[in-house]
Amino acid sequence: MKHLPMILKNVWRNRRRTILTVLSIGVSLCLLGVLLAIYHAFYFSDPTPEQALRLVTRNSISLVRPMPQAYRDKIKRIPGVRDLAVEDWYGGQYIDDKAEHQFARFATDPDKIFIVRSEIKIPEDQKAAFIRERTACIVGRPIAEKQKLKLGDKIILKGDIYPGSLELIVRGIFDSEQNTDILYFNREYLEQSMPERRRGNAGIFLILANTVEDVPRIEKAVDEEFRNSPTQTKTESESAFSLSFVSFLGNIKVFLLVVCAAVMFTILLVSANTIAMSVRERVREVGVLKVLGFTRGVILGIILTEAVIVSLIGGVVGVFLASMMTGVVRHMPAFLDQLRHLTLTPSVALLCLGIAAAIGLVSAFIPAYQASRIPILDALRSTD
Amino acid sequence: MAIPISYNLRNLVVRKTTTLMAALGIALTVAVLLAMLSLVNGLKTSLQSTGNPLNVMVLRKGSTAELTSSVSRQDFQVLKFKPGIARDKAGQPEASLEMVSVINLASVDAPDGINVNLRGISPIGIEMRGLKLVKGRWFSEGRREVVVGESISKRFPSARLGGKIRFGRGDWDVVGVMSGGQSAVNSEIMGDLNQVSSDFDRTESLSSALLRATDEVAADALVKNITADQRLNADPLLETTYYDKQTSSAAPIQFLGTFIALIMAVGSSFAATNTMYAAIARRSTEIGTLRVLGFSQGSILLSFFAESVLLAGLGGVIGCLLVLPLNGFTTGIGNFTTFSETSFSLTVSPQIMLYGVLFAMLLGAVGGFFPARAAAKKEILVALRSV
């Protein structure tokens, strides 16, 4: 490591090139970081303790087909099930179709939803009002702020899936670690607003298990229960359920991996090109070093270290940019739950730095090896 | 006087390794951009070629999709005899009552299953869409048989000809494969209206009605007439409008792809700048000589600028070659209107390839400007003296 000062001098001697290279690697690695963070969020993130206890039951044909509401009591009796709530996707329109008026609207069981979604934080009096009043609704804080809603305000939702429109009164504003872009209202109210023949259906059942160990067993037991009924069900853990929305968008997994590979290859090219250029300019110097008694191995090491340092600096810049970028993504109107909490986890950041270092090493190897093997006389004679 | 472009070309050839590496970096950026564009292009082609401008689709008031709409048989009797509806050879009005639902099928990409559009339809509806059989035969009325779109038969193993699909009250035989050209119909499964609707307990309340107008004026009049009819409580719209609106499903991919391409572009234009600076540093003496020969600063600026654009253009061409194998590749994307998968083929059209090359050249222009200016500003003596 006694050569470090010389290596650092070399890094800094063509400043413009070093800065351009660092920026080039940094920007590309930032992209890689964000993509890996998304990949991580989709496929590797651990569910929160609340999520790990929850399962979702839907119609096996498709999410959009309802199930008989009576399934609720049958599921409730399955061992290991602590409680469950119905959630019906209402859809509809608030004011108009514009993007700023979009948020999720669910009809649910007011007395159950706070048990099943225990992460919802709401003052006790507001909770009581929501359970008591049939036309009450609660909204997540971001919606309340964006739509300028306060307690006691009236909201009109125009139905598209359901006929007619609903008049709701905001009785609560909730916070949650999870999705807050939601309005909940009373299912009973929705049921009453519909003609007789359309009543008695449930969109999904959100089940809360007693323990994490109960989850896989409940998953099988529920589907088994309705196997011979006209309407069969599909039950899966909450995280698997939300992943199905990701796969709905297309083959995101392959898409992310292909782009990551393309980005990595680009960085490799950029880095290799830069190192090759700087080595080519210094062939004479390498000759001088050899005359001074530096061995091939040391010269190889010096050039490789230089490359690794440059790409690592690029890596640090990239990780920094990526962590800012994930912050931007978090605040975007994400329609996927997983993106709402997108962060550059330490593991992903480390992976990025590792990739940067590896790329530096791989890209510099051929030029460094060639330089270290060039005969002294040829090197000294070089006029490049 | 301008320096001949062959000078730049020869320079690029002399430094083949560097040229190729810088060009490849740009090529990959262009490839990512083009892959995204071909995806969006393919989806748009598919959706925009669906629908006939003479067809009027009728949905329940407030519904934005067939899936959430309902039209009763009673309403249909009223709709069928509206003025301006074309007649078929037998003198029957060209009007089709249909039921739409989605079913979950396991695909090659998603073994857990993905939503697919199912349509209960009668022969007149098939005729109105001009659908053609590719393999097998049409479903018979009153039987549990379905015909699947071409992309469905490719992407869903259980939906191949001769296979069985399970939905509603049991198994359905796949008896035929149909083609709707490029259209979204290729992503649908069709069965006999009465059979399908009874399986879904929707014999009275179906999803939508499709009416064929005699001409475009009649189509507009028909839309107005139905909107104004208080008995119906219906929202009519042109079939083409309905599918056109669905192109917004490509928005997330388009956004993500553009975002990725732009960031990669920044990275690779820095790389191009680097390459050009190195090229100029090595050719200092040459630049001095050119100046002595009487070439002006302007022509040197132009020459190096052109070299950078050429280098990037080469990258653009390589990028196009990289994505060309994707042309015709069938994939599917979630459609937010139908809540099911729309399959389509990626389309690498000459137009988007042109965009790719232009984008690459733009990168070269941005990346090459400062190095070219540096080259032009070199002092003659300093340039000549450098070793």
- Average pLDDT in the B97-106 region? 90
Residues 6+ apart with CB under 8 A from A34: A322, A325, A326, A329, A344
Rounded to a whole number, what is the distance in Å from the CA of A113 to chain B's nearest CA? 26
Cα–Cα distance for residue pair A285/A308, rounded to 1 Å: 20
ipTM surpasses cut 0.95: no
Residue of B nearest to A16 (CA): B274
Reported as a single tens digit per residue, the pLDDT across B188-236 is 999 999 999 998 888 888 999 999 999 999 999 999 999 999 888 899 9
Confidence at B387, pLDDT banded by 50, 70, 90 = low
- Domain of residue B217, residue span: 62-232
Q: Note whether B85 and B142 are same-domain residues.
A: yes
Contact A20 B274 (CB under 8 A): yes
Domain count, chain B: 2
B157 lies in the same domain as B299: no
Please report the pLDDT score of residue B22 as a whole number: 85
Rounded Cα–Cα distance for residues A47 and A40 (Å): 12
Kindly report the pTM of this predicted structure: 0.82
What does the pLDDT read at residue A347?
Answer: 92
A256 and A339 part of one domain: yes
pLDDT class of A333 with cuts at 50, 70, 90? low
Assess if residue A340 is contained within a domain.
Answer: yes
User: In this predicted structure, what is the pLDDT of residue B106?
Assistant: 82
pLDDT in tens, A150-178: 999 999 999 888 888 899 999 999 998 88
A337 shares a domain with A274: yes
Residues of B in contact with A28 (CB under 8 A): 263-264, 267
Contact A266 B264 (CB under 8 A): yes
Alpha carbon of A159: minimum distance to chain B alpha carbons (Å): 7
Show the domain range for A147: 61-231
Supply the pLDDT for residue B27. 93
A43 touches B at CB < 8 Å = no
Q: Mean pLDDT throughout A30-35?
A: 93
Digit-coded pLDDT (tens) for B348-368: 999 999 999 999 999 999 989
A55: left (phi over 0), alpha (psi -120 to 50) or beta: beta
Per-residue pLDDT, A310: 92
Residue A189 lies inside a defined structural domain of this protein: yes
Domain count, chain A: 2
- Same domain flag for B88 and B170: yes
Return the amino acid letter for A196.
E
Task: Provide the pLDDT confidence category of residue A335 given band limits of 50, 70 and 90.
Answer: low
Compute the average pLDDT of residues A289-310: 90
Over residues B139-172, the pLDDT tens digits come to 999 999 999 999 899 888 889 999 999 888 889 9
The pLDDT > 90 percentage for chain A reads: 49
Task: Report which of residues A296 and A255 the model is more confident about.
Answer: A296
**A265–B contact, CB cutoff 8 A:** yes
CA distance A344 to chain B (A): 17
User: Does residue B290 register a pLDDT over 70?
Assistant: yes
Residues B20 and B106 in one domain: no
pLDDT of residue B20: 87
Is A376 an interface residue toward B (CB < 8 Å)? no
Residues B213 and B90 in one domain: yes
**Domain end call among A197, A231, A265:** A231
Please report residues of A whose CB lies closer than 8 A to that of B21.
Answer: 269, 272-273, 276
Average pLDDT over residues B294-318: 93
What integer pLDDT is reported at residue A331 of this predicted model?
Answer: 75
Query: Can you tell me the mean pLDDT for A205-211?
Result: 96
Residue A259 covered by a domain: yes
Assigned token pair, A26: 């940094």
Cα–Cα distance measured from residue A168 to residue A189, given in angstroms and rounded to the nearest whole number:
10
- Per DSSP, the residues of B292-314 read HTT--HHHHHHHHHHHHHHHHHH
pLDDT tens for each residue of A227-277: 888 888 999 999 888 888 877 777 778 888 888 998 888 888 888 888 888
Sheet containing strand A182-186, strands side by side:
A93-94, A154-158, A165-174, A136-140, A182-186, A104-108, A81-89, A204-209, A54-59, A233-237
User: Which residue is associated with the tokens 């006790």?
Assistant: A124
**Interchain pair A64, B28: CB under 8 A:** no
- The answer on A216 and A72 residing in a single domain is yes
B213 and B69 assigned to the same domain? yes
Q: What is the pLDDT of residues B6-30, one digit of tens each?
A: 888 888 888 888 888 888 889 999 9
Tokens 């053609």 belong to which residue? B132
Same domain, B309 and B380: yes
Task: Cite the beta strand spans of chain B per DSSP E.
Answer: 55-60, 71-72, 95-105, 114-121, 132-136, 145-149, 164-167, 170-179, 188-192, 205-206, 208-212, 234-238, 330-335, 340-345
Which residues in B lie closer than 8 A to residue A21 (C-beta atoms)?
A: 270-271, 274
pLDDT of residue A384: 55
Say if residue B141 is in the same domain as residue B224.
yes
A36 touches chain B (CB under 8 A): no
Q: Look at the alpha carbons of A49, A52, A55, A56 in this order and tell me if their dihedral is positive or negative.
A: positive
CA distance A126 to chain B (A): 32
